[in-house]
Amino acid sequence: MADYQILTGNCLDYLKNKRISGKIDLTFLDPPFNQNKEYTFHNDNLSLDEYWKIMAEVCQKTIDITSDGGAIYFMQREKNSEGVLRCLRESGWSLQNLIIWKKRTSAVPVPNKFGKQYQILAYATKGVKARVFNRLRISPPLPSNYKIKRENGVYVTDVWDDIRELTSGYFAGDEAIRGKSGERFHKQQSPIALLTRIILSSSKAGDTVFDPFTGTGTTLVTAYQLHRNSIGIEIDPNNSKMIYQRLRKMRDSDNVEKYYTEYSHTGKLAQIWGRETLAGK
């Protein structure tokens, strides 16, 4: 049975004061993007220097508690790619892939340059060799110019265009957590499908997954179902309360099982998923 820990407060305080016990095998880093969004417990309008100093410190303190070969996925807006790569490099992480998460909704138009349609996920490891990397296979729809069906699917590449963001209105289904009058509980909630891919790719059942800016707890909810332990830190106590509720009373829309068939061409999938651990094999 996987374990989870929800810590309420500033992640840097926990990291600086060594209040995270044990080694971390995988980190999902999805901080506020410093774009002047409304947060009750966090200033989202810091100077660039201040913002990147915090990010650098989080990356540094996280690598210190990561097992050799452990992984980090740092998610950001594409315009911040340079800052992300610098932070990771200067804190000793080795870049493995710069993943493009292509949004399913139409591009955001920008005057005088190309419209924006993706976010980045920088995948890096502690040391040049990943401790775990499971090469997942998926079965995306066949492009219209292809005649022969792919019998065994294809390996996941560094362009992820098959995961729908939760901002895509009703297309996103009922996964987005909403209040009584239908408003989003947290506008930056990540999709379960995104964390499923990251956790399956870069960890084993029984590993520990860390999320220092855990928001609604998507990382913990996904890790738990995939038999990974998890630690999440969230500064806003209302969000922490939501994470507890989300974990205690699992919603159908959070169920990872619906993604199992998507990865069915992956070798040893039951083992990667943690099903064999569950069956005591």
Distances (CA, A) of 139 to 102, 263, 275: 17, 8, 21
Determine, following the binding rule CB under 6 A, whether residue 271 of this chain makes contact with ligand SAM.
Answer: no
Q: How far is the C-alpha of 65 from the C-alpha of 63, rounded, in Å?
A: 5
Determine, following the binding rule CB under 6 A, whether residue 232 of this chain makes contact with ligand SAM.
Answer: no
Determine, following the binding rule CB under 6 A, whether residue 240 of this chain makes contact with ligand SAM.
Answer: no
Q: How far is the C-alpha of 186 from the C-alpha of 155, rounded, in Å?
A: 32
C-alpha neighbours within 13 Å on the C-beta side of residue 116 = 11
Ranges within 89-148 binding ligand SAM (CB under 6 A): none
Determine, following the binding rule CB under 6 A, whether residue 213 of this chain makes contact with ligand SAM.
Answer: yes
CB of 154 to ligand SAM, least distance (A): 27
Ranges within 25-44 binding ligand SAM (CB under 6 A): 30-32, 39, 41-42
Number of residues counted as binding ligand SAM (CB under 6 A): 23
Rg (CA), the chain: 18
Determine, following the binding rule CB under 6 A, whether residue 209 of this chain makes contact with ligand SAM.
Answer: no
CB of 43 to ligand SAM, least distance (A): 9
Member of 215, 225, 272, 274 binding ligand SAM (CB under 6 A): 215
The residues that bridge with 184 in the sheet, in sequence order, are 178
Ranges within 176-195 binding ligand SAM (CB under 6 A): 186, 188-190
Q: How far is the C-alpha of 219 from the C-alpha of 187, rounded, in Å?
A: 16
